[in-house]
Structure formats: C-alpha cells, structure tokens
Amino acid sequence: MSNDLCNKYGRYLSSLMGSVLNSTAPKAPFEGINWDTLYQLAAHHNVLTLIYPAISQFTIPEDIKSEFIHHNNLIIARETRQEIEAQRIFKLLSDAGIRFIKLKGIFIKNLYPAPYMRSSADVDICMTKEDREQARSIMQQAGYTLKTSIDYADEYNKDNFYLYELHSAIVTKKAPYAQLFSDPFSKSVKDSHENSYVLCPEYFYLHLVLHLLNHFLTGGCGLRQLCDLYVFEKTHPNLDLDFVSKALKAYELTRFFNTIRKLTFDLLEDKPLSQDEADIADFIFKSGEYGSVNLKHIAWLDDDKNVTWTFSKKCRYFLGLWFPGVRTLKKRYPVLEKAPILLPICWVRRIFHTIFFKRSAIKGQQREIKRLNSQELKEAKRIRKLSGLE
C-alpha cells in the first residue's frame, strides 16, 4: 500500500475508533473506499471489534459484513471464556494469600465501552518474587504448564488458549527506568479481590507509555496502544500529567511523550496533522499491532551514521537472527540464566529445531532480509528523530 493510501485509510480507521470511544456519530466513508482494505488494516491493528459498532451503521458489502460479524462473535466468546478463567485464577491466588497487581490489558479493557473491544492474548500480573515461587504450584494444579522462566517473569500456558505471565517486577531490572517501578505495591491501590491491586493512575499511565516506547523502538507500535493511552486519560480526568512529565524527563523522554500524546488525540479526534505528525502516523499505520519494521535486530544502527544497507550489514543482521545473545535466548532456554556458558549448545539446538520443524521461519527471515533496504533504515531513524528519541 502506498504512503498516501495507507495514510488515507489509517486516518479514516482512526476516526472510526475515536467515534466509538467517544460515542459520537462515525465519519461517513470517503468516496471509493475499499472495505476489504479497511478490514485488513483494522485486522493488522487488532481493532476490528472496536470499529464494528461504527461500520455497522453503513451499507457495506455482505462478505465484509459477515467477516466483521464472525470476528466480533468469536472475540466476544473468547473474551467471556478468558474472563471466567481470570476470575478463577485470581481467586486461587487471593485465597492463598498472594497479593498481585493487574497490569495492562486485564485492567484497561474494563475502561473501554465494552471489554471485548480491547481483547488480549495473555494476562499479566505482578507479585513478589517469593509469591511468584509459591504461585507455581497453584498454576500447575490449575492445569497450567510453565513454558518459560526468566529473571523477573514466568509464562504459563493452558490448552494453547489461556496464557498468563507472572512477574516479580513491573519491568526488567536492566531497563533504564526500572527504578521508577521499584516496590510496586507502594505505588498501587486495592482492586476487586481481597489481595488484588492495580497501579496508581500515574504509574499505570507511565507503564503504558513505556510499554508503547518499547514497541516503538523494537518494531513499531500500533493504533491500539495509542487507544490505551487515550482511553486511560479520558477515564481519569484528574490524572497528574505534570507528575508523568517530570518522571519521564529524568529519562529524556518528555519530548517523545508530548509528541505521541498529541498525535494520539489528533488521530482519534480526527484533527489536522502537521507534516511531522503525518509521517509518524504513517509509520504507526504500517507497523500494525506489534510492529512490522524489524528494528530489534538492527539496533546497532543507532550509533551508525552510515545507514547504507550493505552486504556486510545484511550478514550481521542474519547472524544476529541465528546467533542471538544470552539475554535474547534465556526466555526460551531458562538454563542460560544459571549457565550462560551453554549458549553455543542452545544455538545448535535452536538451529536444528528450526531446520527440521520451522522451515517457514527460515523463508520468513530470507524475505525480511531481502525486503530491508537502506531507504527503510533511514526512514526508521528519521521517524525516531521526529518523535523525540534522538
């Protein structure tokens, strides 16, 4: 999709999202709109259920309408099952005397017009390190399998449908802003269950901003993350934005925050954009829910003024994909946490498994390497600079 076309559909999609969030009449579709293109872009950002109340007011092709209805019903059913399960798990933890803090989606979905409009694949909660150890037996007795374990989080799976991440820190201690979330219970208030908590509004909002930042840096953020900021701020009119700005200033993120916040409100309230905003918006429209520009593996370009995508750099990129460091692989291979010397063995095992069981991944990496070019790398760096990250 061309930049102009992406921006046109992205702007209209944003306006539909804003109309639902603000309970206002949706903007009429522009002349010649391709509803399938709009559907695909909304699916790319995982906002189909959010815009469904808006597009249902228009006459659209029956096949696209059926896709919307099917997806909407599917998400409502999935959300219902996940909410019932979440209440069961929360009660088990609470009854065991384990205090926990609800993070991100499991809390913020209830601030949307309807919870299913902000569905998520997993449930993130935070607890003390000691309680995280105790929770292992509770989760296993509840039918969950511990899939991965790293220094600050355990990931559980049940039936490949229910996913839980139990954290003992809001963010990894290696994050530059980790101190901001130290002693998280002192920054939290009681929620629904006896031992259930949620971060105080300013800290919850900070967590959303920094989570968005992480995606923005490592692949691009999507419209739904902007929605989270918007919904949270609109439902918390007394939010202390001065406190938020001062906290971010300590990490030189004030300009980024102000830029993204203004863009969020301008997009969802269908206001005119400056050229810089339009360029950042285009990057977001193309990124999708979790990002499509693979900046994670080319972070070394940050300090490289020459962003020409040479053969040697393609080789470095390829090697970074196939031979990642301990920090990247320890989630998949927890043994590396205590024995990083085993990294070469993990490389061999990973390569063997990929060759014989995930050949599609190899083809995907080959396509990614061919797709990346100097112009895209320059553009990624330019967008970072426009957003206040350089």
For residue 145, list its beta bridge partners.
157
Burial 25-61 (b: 16+ CB within 10 A, else e): ebeebeeeeebeebbebbebbbbbbbbbbbbeeeebe
Task: Report the pLDDT value the prediction gives residue 301, as an integer from 0 to 100.
Answer: 41
Query: Is the pLDDT higher at 284 or at 318?
Result: 284
Output the DSSP codes for 315-368.
Answer: HHHHHHHHS--HHHHTTT-GGGGT-GGGHHHHHHHHHHHHHHH-HHHHHHHHHH
Measured CA to CA, the distance from residue 24 to residue 54 in angstroms comes to: 9
Average pLDDT, the chain: 86
pLDDT of residue 219: 72
- The per-residue pLDDT for range 203-236, each reduced to its tens digit, is 999 999 999 998 888 777 899 999 999 999 999 9
d(CA 351, CA 354): 5
Whole-number Å distance between alpha carbons of 177 and 59: 48
State residue 163 phi and psi, 5-degree precision: -125, 130
What is the CB-side half-sphere exposure of residue 139 using CA atoms within 13 A? 23
Query: Residue 333 above 70 pLDDT?
Result: yes
| Range scoring the smallest mean pLDDT among 108-122, 148-162, 299-313 | 299-313
6 pLDDT above the threshold of 90: no
In this predicted structure, the answer to whether residue 310 has a pLDDT above a threshold of 60 is no
pLDDT beyond 90 at 70: yes
Q: Read off the amino acid at residue 178.
A: A
- What number is the average pLDDT over the span 130-135? 96
The percentage of residues in the chain with a pLDDT greater than 70, rounded to a whole number, is: 83
CB 106 within 8 A of CB 120: yes
What is residue 331's predicted lDDT score, i.e. its pLDDT? 62
Q: Which residue spans of the chain are classified as CATH 3.30.460.40?
A: 3-287
Q: Which of 124, 121, 20 is nearest to 78 (CA)?
A: 121
Which alpha helices (H) appear in the chain, and where do they start and end? 3-21, 35-44, 48-55, 62-95, 105-108, 129-141, 201-217, 223-235, 241-249, 254-268, 275-287, 311-322, 326-329, 343-357, 359-371, 374-386
Q: 40 near 286, Cβ under 8 Å?
A: no
316 pLDDT band (50/70/90 cuts)? low
When pLDDT is averaged across residues 358-383 and rounded to a whole number, the result is 64
pLDDT value of position 1: 62
Sheet of strand 123-126: strand arrangement:
145-150, 153-158, 162-167, 123-126, 100-103, 196-199, 188-190
Q: Is the pLDDT of residue 105 over 60?
A: yes
HSE-CB of 174 using CA atoms within 13 angstroms: 5
Give 216's strand partners.
none
How confident is the model over 16-60, as pLDDT tens digits?
A: 999 999 999 999 999 999 999 999 999 999 999 999 999 999 999
Q: How confident is the model at residue 185 (pLDDT cuts 50, 70, 90)?
A: very high
Residue 312 has a pLDDT of 60
Question: Which pLDDT value is given to residue 304?
Answer: 45
Span 144-170, pLDDT tens digits: 999 988 888 999 999 999 999 999 999
Query: What fold is seen in the domain 3-287?
Result: Beta Polymerase; domain 2 (3.30.460)
pLDDT of 363 strictly over 70: no
**Residues 235, 237, 243, 246: is their CA dihedral positive or negative?**
positive
69-78, 115-124, 358-367 — which is least confidently predicted? 358-367
Instruction: Please give the C-alpha separations between residue 58 and each of 29, 53, 139, 241, 323, in angstroms, as whole numbers.
Output: 8, 10, 46, 38, 51
Average pLDDT of the residues in 322-335: 70
Q: Which of 83, 82, 106 minimizes the C-alpha distance to 161? A: 82
Contact 140, 134 (CB under 8 A): no
Query: What's the pLDDT band for 307 if we cut at 50, 70, 90?
Result: very low
pTM (predicted TM-score): 0.83
What is the rounded average pLDDT of the residues 346-362? Answer: 66
Report pLDDT for 92: 96
| DSSP code, position 28 | P
Q: Decide if pLDDT at 293 tops 90.
A: no
